């Protein structure tokens, strides 16, 4: 097995010493869709000690266009993504330890899994989970790498507690679209570009070459030939509730978490959170998904076999299912 990582070791910034450091590290990937599966494969091939994968979903046919670890058989058997990924990755590299968890990550479920983790890679599909993770990473002082992509656009940023602005600082300073893959689609090269940036930063952190870390946020649009880096130093705020001088970690509080309940006898699930959604912008985005109706109080859309109604107070009703998991999936597909 001495030749396995020889080409990686020939790269001077890594070398044999860096490879030894990498082989002692544990990385957790939150989400195993397009970004997660590609990141997981890259890290497995790089030879880290341990990889933990968390995902709540199973493989669907529409995933196969861009989620590179999965096969048609995984789709036909509805294998959970984390389980299918582990099987494939162990076939790629049997020398590393891989743990797969089929769960909807929350503060309570995620914190125990982070005890000996050296790095977290963001591959989630919604900002509710990201903001919870941002608070948790700041509290535990663990580095993580943000990544997001839709259509032909993407972005990535490396977040170091006590050093860089956190995700909350960035969201306050930089407007980010709420578009989703289900509303505007996505092309595979977009995924690969975000993963390339995330993977490069991950390798730097794992071999402890901190001086080489990129300090700017990367944004791009592959179809329209746009690439830009933004200096985010000024985005860091002393009063930030996540990374400021007196953090409150509000997204770890129960009151600020997304809540769900099945409405008795109505084949409907209600989802509530405190995240403000512009009704005008939401209605505009949803026109590409299905038939939209709007008034002064709500926006509704016909989506597949469901009817989803969004209210100004942050509630949403997903009509057509009694499954909380299915309702949350639909909700995040539509809202981002």
Q: How far apart are the first and last CA of the chain?
A: 43
Tell me how far apart the alpha carbons of residues 317 and 300 are, in angstroms, rounded to a whole number. Answer: 9
Summarised one tens digit per residue, pLDDT across range 166-197 is: 999 998 887 676 677 777 889 999 999 999 99
**pTM: predicted TM-score of the whole model, two decimal places:** 0.82
- What's the CATH architecture for 6-251? 3-Layer(aba) Sandwich (3.40)
Range list of H helices, 207-316: 279-286
Looking at domain 258-335, its CATH class is alpha beta
Mean pLDDT confidence for 50-71 = 93
Domain span(s) for CATH 3.30.310.10 in the chain = 258-335
For 11: left if phi > 0, alpha if psi spans -120 to 50, otherwise beta; the answer is beta
Domain span(s) for CATH 3.40.50.720 in the chain = 6-251
The helix or strand, by DSSP H or E, that contains position 326, with its residue range, turns out to be helix 324-335
- Going by pLDDT thresholds of 50, 70 and 90, the confidence category of residue 329 is confident
Summarised one tens digit per residue, pLDDT across range 130-149 is: 999 999 999 999 999 999 99
Tell me how far apart the alpha carbons of residues 308 and 292 are, in angstroms, rounded to a whole number. Answer: 10
- Please state, rounded to an integer, the average pLDDT across all residues of the chain: 91
Summarised one tens digit per residue, pLDDT across range 215-233 is: 999 999 999 999 999 999 8
Neighbouring CB atoms inside 10 A of 254's CB total 8
- Going by pLDDT thresholds of 50, 70 and 90, the confidence category of residue 104 is confident
- Going by pLDDT thresholds of 50, 70 and 90, the confidence category of residue 276 is low
């Amino acid at each position: 097995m001495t030749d396995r990582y020889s080409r990686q070791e020939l790269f001077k910034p890594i070398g044999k010493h860096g490879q030894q450091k990498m082989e002692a590290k544990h990385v957790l990937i939150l989400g195993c869709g397009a970004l997660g599966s590609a990141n997981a494969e890259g890290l497995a091939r790089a030879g880290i000690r341990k990889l933990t994968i968390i995902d709540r979903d199973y493989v669907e046919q529409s995933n196969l266009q861009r989620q590179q670890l999965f096969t048609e058989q995984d789709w036909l058997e509805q294998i959970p993504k984390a389980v299918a990924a582990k099987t494939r990755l162990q076939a790629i590299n049997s020398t590393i330890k891989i743990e797969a968890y089929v769960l909807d990550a929350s503060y309570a479920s995620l914190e125990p899994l982070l005890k000996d983790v050296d790095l977290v890679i963001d591959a989630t599909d919604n900002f509710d989970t990201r903001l919870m993770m941002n608070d948790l990473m700041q509290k535990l002082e663990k580095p993580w790498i943000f990544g997001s992509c839709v259509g032909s656009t993407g972005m990535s940023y490396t977040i170091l507690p006590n050093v860089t602005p956190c995700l909350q600082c960035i969201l306050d300073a930089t407007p980010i679209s709420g578009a989703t893959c289900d509303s505007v689609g996505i092309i595979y090269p977009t995924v690969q570009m975000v993963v390339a940036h995330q993977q490069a930063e991950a390798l730097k952190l794992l071999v402890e070459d901190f001086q080489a870390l990129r300090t700017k946020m990367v944004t791009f649009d592959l179809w329209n030939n746009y690439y830009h880096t933004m200096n985010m130093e000024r985005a860091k705020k002393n009063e930030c509730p996540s990374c400021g001088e007196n953090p409150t970690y509000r997204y770890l509080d129960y009151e600020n978490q997304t809540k769900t309940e099945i409405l008795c006898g109505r084949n409907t699930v209600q989802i509530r959170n405190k995240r403000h959604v512009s009704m005008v912008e939401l209605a505009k985005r949803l026109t590409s998904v299905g038939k939209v109706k709007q008034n002064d109080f709500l926006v509704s859309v016909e989506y597949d076999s469901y009817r989803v109604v969004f209210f100004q107070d942050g509630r949403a009703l997903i009509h057509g299912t009694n499954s909380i998991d299915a309702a949350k999936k639909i909700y995040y597909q539509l809202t981002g």
